[in-house]
Structure 1
C-alpha cells in the first residue's frame, strides 16, 4: 500500500459517518433453486454454487443471504468470515469443526514501509515515535472508564473531570468512556460528551463468549451500541472513534473487520503482559509486537487500524498483583496515601523510561471504595503538577502520535486546545425523561429504566432494535466498505 492509498484510508477513517450493515438480503428464490434439508430444521446452510452466499431456512423455506463484501460463508461455524479461514460447503454434518489456530498472516514490522501518520510499528513496541528523546515529549495519561454510566458512578466521575484538575495549557483534564448499554443514563452520557470527554463503545449486552461469535454478532453489539448513543445521547457516529471488547477478549480477526468496515479509528482491547518497558500504541499493518495474553488477538493485518493496548499495572514487589484494570489490583487494605505511592511507582516505569501513554483503566468498582478514590485524586493532583504530564482522551493521544510534538510545541497544539469545542454534542437538557420500559430477554420479561433528553422509546433498546421501536430485529445496518460490494459476483467469484 503506497502513501497515497494510506492517506486515503486514513482520511476515510477520520471523516466517515458510517450507518451500518445489511445483515440479510431476502430473495424470492424458489425451492427449485435450493431445498432446505428436511432433517436439519431451521438454520443457515451453504450455497452449493458460491461461498459468498448462504441460505437461511425458516420453516422449510430458503431465504438467500449474501455475505458482506470480502467475507465468505463458513459451513462449519455457520457465519461469514475471511476467505482463508472459511471452510466452504456444503460440508457433511458428520465433519468435526477444525480446531487449529488461524494462520498468522501478519508480517513483522518493516520500518522502511511503515511511516507516520498512516502506519506505526517498532520491533518490540517500546520505541518512541519519530525517534524523539523521552525528555522532549509529553507523558500522556489516559483515564478510561468501562461500562454503564448512571447515578451509581456519575458523581464520582464528575469529581475527577469537573475542571478542578488542568493540563499545562490550562485546559481541564478529560477521559474516555467505553459505554455498555444496560442501566446507562443517556442524559449523563450526553453531558460527559458535551464537556469534551470522549465516548466510545463497549457492547450492548456485555455477553460472555463474544470473542467466539461471528461477524453479525459483533456488528449487532458494536454498531448497535453506537446507534443507541446517537439516538439517546445525541453523540454522532463520527465522534465515536473507538471500541473495547467486553472482558478484554478481542474477537480475533472478526472484531477487527468490524473496526475496519465501520470506520472506527482504534480498538483498545489487547492486554500487554507485565513488561519492564511499556508498549506504545501501534497500527495493525503488522503483527502485534508482544505476546497476546487473551489468545484471541488478530492474526492478519488491518492497515491503518490503531490498537491502543492496555499495559499491565504492577510494582516491582508485585504487591497488589498484576492487572490491566486498576480495580483488579488488590489495594483494598491500603489507605489513600499508600494507594498514591503504589500508583506513583507504577507510573514511574513509564515516566522514567519511554513515556508510553499511561492508561488508567477503571470500572465503577474503584470508586465504591473511599480510600481508592481518594488515592486517585491525590495521584491526579500530584501528576498535574509535573510540567510535561497531560491527561488526554484516547483519540487525542492518537492525534499526537500521528503528528508528534515536542514539549515546547504543545502550547500551540490544536488537538489539545480547549478554546475550540472538541465535540459537536449539544448541551443536554436539565431534566431528562425518565423512561420505564418493558424488556424481554428469553423467557424473562422485566422493566428497565432509562433516562434521556430524547422522547422515551416504545421498548427498552436492545440487540436488533437500537431505537427501541418494539419491533424485534428491526435494525438493518447499511454496509459501507472501502470497496462497495458488487451487485453480482463475477464468474470467478461464483465458482468455488
Structure 2
C-alpha cells in the first residue's frame, strides 16, 4: 500500500468510530405514531400543525426567554405523565418542543416538527413568538374558557316539541328527516368551494361542474332530473372577481358568506371576535357582494334574500357571538361546526336544542380515570401501538379493509335494531374544544362538517387529506378509493348529506383533479344521488320527500349576467392594526387593488374592507353603526 495513503485511511477509520460512538439512535416510531403525528400537523382540523402561524409580515423573531431544546424523544418519557383529561393534547412539563397526546387516559409523547414549539393554549406546534405560551395555561383561564363553552343551559333534543319545518333534531343526530327509510331518501352531495373566486380557480371550478367550454353555460354533468349539478361558494372578499360571482349565481349556484378579511391568527375568530366583529365580517361581505355583483338590478341573480348562509373561516365557530349575530340578521344556516368522525354520519339540525355531539371534547367528571383496552380517540386499538412495519403499497392495497355498500347497510340495520343508548361522540379536535352555542337559536340550521377519514387522515377540507402513495399524477387509485370509501359511509347507512369541501389547493395538482373527475363520474351513475346547494338541502329537510316524489325543476336562466365586466382600480387604506379600513387622510399603509365588477358605475371610491364595507372615502360607517341609526330612526317615529 502506498505509504502516503495509509495515514488518510487511518484518520477516516478513527472519525468513523468516533461518530458511531457519539451518534444518537432515534427512538422507535410506530406506524400509528407516524400517522398520529401526521394528523397532528393538520392545523385546519384544529390539531397540531407543521404549518407556521404567520402574521402578514411572516414569522416573528423568537423570544429569548425560551431555550432551544433539541433533545430526541425519550421512549420512556410518557410514563410519569398523568393525563388531566381522557382525550386531548397537553404540554410536556419538561420541554416546549414536545407535547403529550392523551387517548382514553393514556399518554403518548410527541415531538413538534423541527424549529416548531408547542403552544399550550392554541394546542398546535408553531414558531417561537412573543405570544407563544410554553406550558399549560393558568387554571383561572382554563376555567373561564370552559365556562364560555358550557352548554348545560342548552336543552337536549325533544322530538315531541321539535317539529318540521322550523325545527329538527334527533337524539343521536343520525336520524333521517320525516322518518324516511334510507332507500327512500335521496343521497345529497354538497360540493362547495371556500375562499376567493378569481382567474386562478374559475375555470377549474367550472370544469368540475361540467361546463364544457370557457364561454358556454351548458353542462355535461346532470342530476337525475336532467338539470345541471349545483354547487355552493363560500366567499371572502380579498382578490375576488365579482363578475365571475354574478355569472355563477345566474347559472343557479349558491353564493354564501365566508368573511371579508379571513384574517390570521385563526384563534382571533374564537377568542377575540365579538358580536360586532362577526356582523362586520359576515354581513359586511354580504353587502359587498350585493354592491359589486349587480345586486341593484331588478332581475339580478344575487339578492339579499338569497345570501342567507355562512361559514366561519378555518372552521372556527365563534360561539354565542357568532350564532346570535346569524340569528339576529336572519341567516338560514351556518356550516362551521365540525362533527366527530364515525358511522353513521350526522344529519343537519337546528339550534333549538343542543347539538348531538360533544363540542367540549371532555369526558364526564364521574368517568373513572383508568386506561381501557379498546378504541381510543384516534379510532385505533390501544394494544396496536407497538412497533409496526410500514406496509408497501401493494400490501396495503391487498389488506385494505373496505366495506361494500351492502355491508354498510347491514351494519346500519343492526345499529337501528339495538336498544337506543345516549352515546355522545367527542369532538374531533384533539386540541382546543369547539366554541359552540350555549343557548338556543330557534330556526337557525347547522349543517355540520362530517370529516373525511381513513387510516392516515381526518380532514375537513379535501385538500387537507394526505395520500402517501399518490405521488404520480397518473397514480390516482388511492385518492379515488378514499373518496368512494367516505361516500359509501353515507350512502350505505343513513344517507346523511355528503360534503366535498375544497380550497384552491386541490386544483394545483393534476392527479387530484383527475381523481375528482373520476369520482364525480362514478357518482353520476347512481340515480338516487343529487348535487344540490346548501339552501336546496335545507328546503328539502323542511319538507322531506321520498325519492319517488321529488319533482325538482330546472331553473330558467332568466337572471341578467355580466356582459361587459369592468375592473375597478382603487386604493386600499389600512389602519395601524393592519385589518381595519382607514381613510386617505389618516392611514398607516396603502396599496392599489384591481377588482373586477359587473359595471363601471358601481366602482367604490376606495377598496371595501372591514369597517368600511361601502368603500366610501369619508363618513363611512360599520354595520352596527348603521343598525343603531336605523333603530334610532324607528324609535323617533
- Provide the TM-score with structure 2 as the length reference: 0.58
Task: Find the residue that maps to 1:272 and give its secondary structure.
Answer: coil
Residues 311 and 334 of structure 2 are in contact (CA less than 8 Å); yes or no, is this contact kept in structure 1? yes
Corresponding residue to 1:298 among 419, 437, 445: 437
Where does 1:55-454 land on structure 2 (aligned, <5 Å)? Answer: 98-102=144-148, 103-104=150-151, 105-161=153-209, 162=211, 163-208=219-264, 209-212=268-271, 213-234=273-294, 235-292=302-359, 293=427, 294-315=433-454, 318-319=455-456, 321-331=457-467, 333-334=469-470, 335-410=475-550, 412=551, 416-420=552-556, 425-429=559-563, 431-441=564-574, 442=576, 443-454=588-599
Separation in 2 of the partners of 1:289 and 1:473? 43
1:307-329 Cα deviation digits (max 9, x unpaired):
000001113xx13x111111110
Which of the pair has more CA radius of gyration? 2
**Mapped partners of 1:447, 1:281: distance in 2:** 42
SS of the residue aligned with 1:447?
strand
Asked if structure 2 preserves the Cα contact closer than 8 Å seen for 1:250 and 1:296, the reply is yes
2:394 corresponds in structure 1 to none
Query: How many Å separate the matches in 1 of 2:544 and 2:451?
Result: 24
2:605 aligned to which of 458, 462, 477: 458
User: SS of the residue aligned with 1:390?
Assistant: strand
CA 1:251 to 1:345, structure 2 compared with 1: closer, same or farther past 3 Å?
A: same
**What's 1:39 paired with?**
none
Given that residues 464 and 472 in structure 1 are in contact (C-alpha distance below 8 angstroms), is that contact kept between their aligned partners in structure 2?
Answer: no
The residue that corresponds to 2:618 in the other structure is: 471
Aligned counterparts of 1:464 and 1:432: Cα–Cα separation in 2: 26
| 5+ residue gaps, structure 1 | 1-94, 489-496
Write the distance in 2 (CA, Å) between the matches of 1:427 and 1:112: 46
Shift in Å, 1:409: 1.1
Shift of 1:274: 1.4
Shift in Å at residue 444 of structure 1? Answer: 2.5
1:54 alignment partner in structure 2: none
SS in 2 for 1:256: helix
Cα 1:420–1:435 shift into 2, 3 Å: closer
Matches of 1:439 and 1:471 in 2, distance apart?
14
Q: How far off is 1:475 after superposition?
A: 3.8
Q: How far did residue 392 of structure 1 move?
A: 0.4
Alpha-carbon offset, residue 436 of structure 1: 2.3
**Cα drift, residue 227 of structure 1:** 0.2
CA deviation after TM superposition for structure 1 residue 487, in Å: 4.3
Check 1:113–1:340 CA distance in 2 against 1; reply closer, same or farther (3 A cut): same
Once the two structures are overlaid, the 10-residue window that deviates more, 260-269 or 294-303, is 294-303
Whole-angstrom CA distance in 2 between matches of 1:224 and 1:151: 23
Question: Could you say what the CA RMSD is over the residues aligned between the two structures, in angstroms?
Answer: 2.3
Structure-1 separation of matches of 2:189 and 2:230: 10
- Aligned mates of 1:262, 1:332 — CA distance in 2: 44
The answer to whether the Cα contact below 8 Å between 1:283 and 1:307 also exists between their aligned partners in 2 is: yes
CA-CA distance at 1:425 after TM superposition: 4.9
> Shift in Å at residue 432 of structure 1?
1.4
CA contact under 8 A between 1:465 and 1:471: conserved in structure 2? no
SS state at 2:453 partner: coil
CA distance in 2 between counterparts of 1:328 and 1:472 reads: 43
SS across alignment from 2:323: helix
Partners in 1 of 2:336 and 2:182 — Cα distance?
26
TM (norm. structure 1) is 0.73
Q: How does 1:16-55 map to 2 (within 5 A)?
A: none
Distance in 2 (CA, whole Å) between partners of 1:445 and 1:379 is: 45
Secondary structure of 1:203's match? Answer: coil
Q: Would the aligned equivalents of 1:190 and 1:425 in 2 still touch at CA under 8 Å?
A: no
Q: Evaluate the alpha carbon distance shift between residue 274 and residue 476 of structure 1 in structure 2; reply closer, same or farther with a 3 A threshold.
A: closer
Q: Distance in 1 between matches of 2:608 and 2:633?
A: 30
After TM superposition, give the deviation of residue 479 of structure 1 in Å: 3.8
Q: CA deviation at 1:433?
A: 1.1
Contact 2:279 2:623 (C-alpha < 8 Å) held by counterparts: no
Q: State whether residues 196 and 240 of structure 2, in contact with CA within 8 Å, keep that contact through their aligned partners in structure 1.
A: yes
Q: Distance in 2 between matches of 1:322 and 1:373?
A: 20
Q: After superposition, give the CA deviation of every residue in 1:96-144 in whole Å (9 maximum; x if it has no partner).
A: 9955513422100001101111110001111111111001111000001
Change (3 A) 1:229 1:419: closer
Partner of 2:342, secondary structure, is: coil
> 1:219–1:336: structure 2 CA closer, same or farther, 3 Å change rule?
same
Partners of 1:98 and 1:345 in 2: CA distance: 41
Stretches of structure 2 lacking an aligned partner (at least 5 in a row) = 1-139, 212-218, 295-301, 360-426, 428-432, 577-587
Separation (CA, whole Å) in 2 of partners of 1:375 and 1:451 = 32
